[in-house]
Amino acid sequence: MEDILGLGKGDRKRLSAVLRETKGTITVREAAEILKVPRFDAAKMLSRWTKRGWLSRVRRGLYIRVPLESRTADIPLEDPWVIADRLFSPCYIGGWTAAEYWGLTEQIFRTVVVMTSRQVRDRTPIIKGTNFLIRTISQKALFGTKPVWRGQIKVSVSDPERTILDMLDAPKLAGGIRPTADILSNYLKSEKMNLELLISYAERLGNGAVFKRLGFLLERLAPEQKGFIKKCRTMLTKGNAKLDPALKAEQLVTRWRLWVPESWAKEG
């Protein structure tokens, strides 16, 4: 005999156990372990509860609970960071999303940036109405993060220095070189500034273009930081890089071995 909202006594007991023992998201493996049933049976239960409106499917094998007050199972993600951690781990939240978290930008971004060591086919997925931008990095590049609690779930986010470093490595993670410069400027004026750590991270990452962009921007934004500017000069690699790979660059700043757009050359 079915009970309220289409669930019988047995299903209600099993669903309650699953909801009680999981945090934020539910996988088939977790449900199978909690209920002590084969994965095939657990998958059928999760599918049935989803059809009855108690759960909402995020991706194959991954579900979230539907709040009791919700009138539909088609709900937006309560916390995209938690979903990102489940889908793309090992990973961390980075780019403009991290910059917003650390108060380094006043811009509001609707897309969540995720840095992962996984090879992901779709780098711009839309999951239940939330846009993600996925960037793959090497396993050894997974450093410079801080754990933050999102409800009962611990998720990694790039610290301020790693956030800046990722943007210098790939300006598109800030929305371009102009927002990157703005975020760096805010960082330089904040109590969070630790240029020694930033330089250390850049050495560890080992991308010469980062030092070219950082030195160039430091000369403009913080010329008093002579020691760190000199350090960037000593770390220059051979060849010329672009200030922003996405922009047309007509002028070569030989001091930094950096091609820059004409507008940036005039500002100097």
List pLDDT tens digits, range 149-205.
988 889 999 999 999 999 999 999 999 999 999 999 999 999 999 999 999 999 999
Query: Of the candidates 246, 237, 244, 190, which has an alpha carbon nearest to the alpha carbon of residue 217?
Result: 244
Find the mean pLDDT for residues 30-42: 93
Q: What are the start and end residues of each CATH 1.10.10.10 domain in the chain?
A: 4-65
Burial readout 101-115 (b: 16 or more C-beta within 10 A, e: otherwise): bbebbeeebebbbbb
* CATH domain 4-65 topology: Arc Repressor Mutant, subunit A (1.10.10)
Is the distance from CB of 173 to CB of 162 less than 8 angstroms?
Answer: no
pLDDT, the chain, mean: 90
Q: What is the average pLDDT across 47-60?
A: 87
Q: How confident is the model at residue 2 (pLDDT cuts 50, 70, 90)?
A: very low
User: Quick check: 25 pLDDT over 50?
Assistant: yes
Q: Assess whether pLDDT exceeds 60 at residue 45.
A: yes
Structure confidence at residue 72 (pLDDT): 53
**For residues 152 and 73, which has the higher predicted lDDT (pLDDT)?**
152
* Nearest C-alpha neighbor of 94 from the set 64, 137, 126, 125: 137
pLDDT digits (tens, 9 = 90+) for 86-112: 999 999 999 999 999 999 999 989 999
